[in-house]
Structure 1
C-alpha cells in the first residue's frame, strides 16, 4: 500500500476522499445534535434525518448510473462537492427550521450519492498499474478510521465553536476535496455509452440488464439482500445492547465502539491477502459466515453477563466489526473486477441502491423486532438466519483460482 501513497495521482485522490469523509462525519454529528434539540420529538426527528440521508442513494442511486458512464468523473465529483458546499452553508440559517433542514439534508444526500457512485467507478482510472485489491483495502481502512475520527471531530467543533461554525468547517472540507479532485487530469475522460436526446432511458435499461447478465453480479445481488438487512438491524440495536442491556458506562461504551471500528480496520487491511488466496465468491461466503457467527456468539455472552466484563463486550464488538468489514472486501473487488468499463457506473449504482434500500429495511425491522423479542434475541436470530445463505453460497461455489469469481 505504501507505493500507492507515493503515487502523486493516487495521493491526491486519497486526500480528497479523506477530507470529504471527514466533512461527512462532522455533518452527521452536527445535524443529529441539531435534530436532538430542535423539536419536541427528537427521536422521531433523528430517525427522519437518518432516512433522509440514506433515501437518495436508495431511491435515486440506480438513475445516477447512466450519468456516471456518460460524463467525466472529474466533472461529477467536483460538481457534487461544490453542490454540497452550497447546501451545507444553507443549513446555517436553517438550524431553527426542522422542515427546511430536513429538505437540505435530503439534497446533501443526493450529492453524496452522485459523489460515491462516480468515486467508486473512477478507482481503476486512478489506480492505474497498481494493485486494485490494495487500493480497495487502503480506501476501506481509511473510511473505517474516518468513521471514528469524523464524529469525534464534529463533537469537539460543536463544543468549541458552536453549530454554525461547524457547518462552515464542514463546507470548507468539500471545497478542499473539489480542488484536489479537479487537479486530477486522469479523471477528465468519460466512458461514453448511448448518447444524444432520448437515450437516457435506453442506457439505464441496458445497464441494468447488462449487469444482471453477469453471473457473479447476480450472485452478489441476491446475497447482499439478507446481508444488508442484517447490517441495518445490527447497526440499529448494537448501541442499545451496549448501553442498556450490558449497561456500559460512557468510557466503556466508547471503548467498545472503538473496538468495533478497530475490527473493521483489521478486516480492510486483511483484504489483499485474502483476495490472493481465495476466489471472491468463496471469500464472500466466508465473510458473511463470520459476520453471522459474530452475531450468534452474543447469546452465550448475554446469557452469562456480566461474567467477562467489558473485555468480553469489546471482543464481541471487534469480531462483529471484522465480519462486517470483510464482507465489503469481495463486494468491492467483484464490482470493479467483473463489471466492464462501459457498465461500471450503472452496475455500481444499481448494487449501491439495492444495498442502501436493504439497510433501511434492516434499520426499520431492527426496531420492530427488538421491541417484540428483545435486543439480544433480535441480534442472535439475525445471525442464525444469515448463516443459511452463507452456507448455501459456500456449498454452491466450485473450487477456482484465487482472486477469481465462480
Structure 2
C-alpha cells in the first residue's frame, strides 16, 4: 500500500490532502471554541456542525457535476483559494457568532466542491489498478488529521492568539495549492492525453448534465442498489452519533479526561481500520465487506446494553468498544468508495461520488435530528439497541436479495479501464 507514496504524483496529492484537511480541522475547532466561549447556548455550537453538513446536502450534486466537466486539479485549487478568502473574512468577524456560522457554511461549500474532485482525481494519480490502496491511504490520512487537527488547534489556543491560528489555516491551504499543482504536473503526458480523449467537456447545459448524471446512477442497477443500502445505514449512523455522546456523558457518566481519551481511542481505531482495509479487501469481496461492517456496526450499537451493566466497575470494555467503533467506521468507507469508483463510468464519477456524499450527509442529518429528539423522550440505551438491531435485520435481508447477488458478482470481477468508459451520449440514449 505504501508503495504509492513512492509515486511523485500521488505523494504530492497526498501532501495536498493533508494540508487542506488540516486547515479545515484547525479552523472548525477554533470557531467552535470561540463561539462556545462567547455563548452559553448549546444550540449555537450545534449550528456550527449543522452549517458544515447542510452545505453538502444543498450543493453536493452540483459539486459532482462540476468535477465531471472541468479539470479536477483546478477545482481543488479554486476551492482552496475560496476557503482562503472566507478564512480572511473570519479573522475580521471573530466577535460575531451568527456571521461566523454563516462563514462556516460558506467554507463548507468550498469543502463540498473539493471532495468529489479530490476523490475522482485519485485514479489519475494512483492508476486504476491501485484505486483501493489509494483510497485506504486517503482514508487513514483523513482519520489521522481528524485526530491531530483539533489537538494542534487546542495547543495553539493555549499558546498563541486566535489570529495566528487562522493565519496558519490560510498557510495550510496555500501549501495544498502548491502540492496540487506539482501533483498534476507529474502525471505522465500519455496518461493525461488518454484521459482528455476519453473525458471531453460537452456543450450540454449544466441542468441537463446534472439530470443525466442522476439518471445514469438510477439506470445502473448496482449503483442504485448501493445507495438503497447506504441511506438507511447513514440514517442509523446519524442516530448513533447523537446517542453515543449522550450515553457516554449522561448514562455512563465518564469524566472529561476519559471522554477525551475515548475520542482519541476511536480516532486511533479509524487509523487501524484504514490500514487493514486493503488487506481485508484482498480476502473479501467489497460488497461482502460492506455488509459485514454494517452488521458489526449494529452489533456495536447493541453492546450499549451490556456495557450499561458493567461500566461502573470497569471502563476497560468501553475503551475497547470505542476502539472497535473507530475501526468499523473507517472500514465502511473503503468498500463504499471502492465500489463507487469501480462501478461508476468515468465520465460520471464526480456526480456519482457527489450523489453518494449528498445522500449520506442527508441521512446523517435526519438521524441526528431524530436521535436528538429521541434522547430527550426515550432511554438512549434502549433506543440505540433497537436501532442497532434494526440495521442488523436490514443488512441480513439485503444479503438474501437478488440485487445483492448481482452487486457481489460485479464487484468480484472488476471491469477493465476501457470497458468502464462510456460516453454521456451512450448513457443518455
User: TM tier, shorter chain?
Assistant: over 0.9
Aligned to 2:7: 7
Deviates more, 1:183-192 or 1:356-365: 183-192
Q: State how many pairs are aligned.
A: 403
Structure 2 vs 1, CA of residues 314 and 404 (structure 1 numbering), >3 Å: closer, same or farther? farther
SS of residue matched to 1:217: helix
Deviates more, 1:396-405 or 1:354-363: 396-405
Structure 1 Cα separation of the partners of residues 226 and 93 of structure 2 = 41
Structure 2 Cα separation of the partners of residues 141 and 40 of structure 1 = 35
TM-score by length of 2: 0.89
Aligned to 1:332: 337
Structure 2 Cα separation of the partners of residues 170 and 130 of structure 1 = 34
Residues 217-262 of structure 1: CA distance to partner in whole angstroms, max 9, x if unpaired?
1121111112111222222222232222212223322221122112
| Shift, 1:400, TM fit | 4.2
Pair 1:311-2:323 in alignment:
no
SS of residue matched to 2:116: helix
Structure 2 Cα separation of the partners of residues 62 and 272 of structure 1 = 28
Structure 2 Cα separation of the partners of residues 368 and 109 of structure 1 = 25
Give matches, 1:232-243, under 5 Å: 232-243=238-249
CA RMSD of aligned residues (A): 2.0
Residues 128-165 of structure 1: CA distance to partner in whole angstroms, max 9, x if unpaired?
26522111111111111111111111111111112221
Structure 2 Cα separation of the partners of residues 101 and 251 of structure 1 = 29
Residue pair 1:85, 1:171 contacting (<8 A) in 2 also: yes
Structure 2 Cα separation of the partners of residues 400 and 336 of structure 1 = 16
Pair 1:272-2:271 in alignment:
no
Pair 1:33-2:33 in alignment:
yes
Give matches, 1:122-271, under 5 Å: 122-128=121-127, 131-183=130-182, 184-185=184-185, 186=187, 192=199, 195-196=202-203, 199-271=205-277
Residues 307-342 of structure 1: CA distance to partner in whole angstroms, max 9, x if unpaired?
3x1211101111222222221121010111111111
Residue pair 2:287, 2:411 contacting (<8 A) in 1 also: no
Give matches, 1:325-404, under 5 Å: 325-396=330-401, 397-398=404-405, 400=409, 403-404=412-413
Give matches, 1:282-301, under 5 Å: 282-301=288-307
Structure 2 vs 1, CA of residues 165 and 361 (structure 1 numbering), >3 Å: closer, same or farther? same
Structure 2 Cα separation of the partners of residues 290 and 53 of structure 1 = 28
| Shift, 1:388, TM fit | 1.8
User: For structure 1, which runs of at least 5 residues remain unmatched after alignment?
Assistant: none
Residues 11-69 of structure 1: CA distance to partner in whole angstroms, max 9, x if unpaired?
1001111111111110111111112123352x111111111111111111011222111
Structure 2 vs 1, CA of residues 30 and 66 (structure 1 numbering), >3 Å: closer, same or farther? same
| Shift, 1:381, TM fit | 1.8
Structure 2 Cα separation of the partners of residues 370 and 264 of structure 1 = 26
Aligned to 1:20: 20
Residue pair 2:311, 2:318 contacting (<8 A) in 1 also: no
Residue pair 1:292, 1:384 contacting (<8 A) in 2 also: yes
Residue pair 1:95, 1:101 contacting (<8 A) in 2 also: yes
Deviates more, 1:83-92 or 1:179-188: 179-188
Aligned to 1:302: 308
Moved over 6 A (4+): none
| Shift, 1:305, TM fit | 2.7
Structure 1 Cα separation of the partners of residues 356 and 341 of structure 2 = 12
Deviates more, 1:372-381 or 1:91-100: 372-381
| Shift, 1:182, TM fit | 1.6
Structure 2 Cα separation of the partners of residues 221 and 400 of structure 1 = 17
TM-score by length of 1: 0.94
| Shift, 1:267, TM fit | 1.6
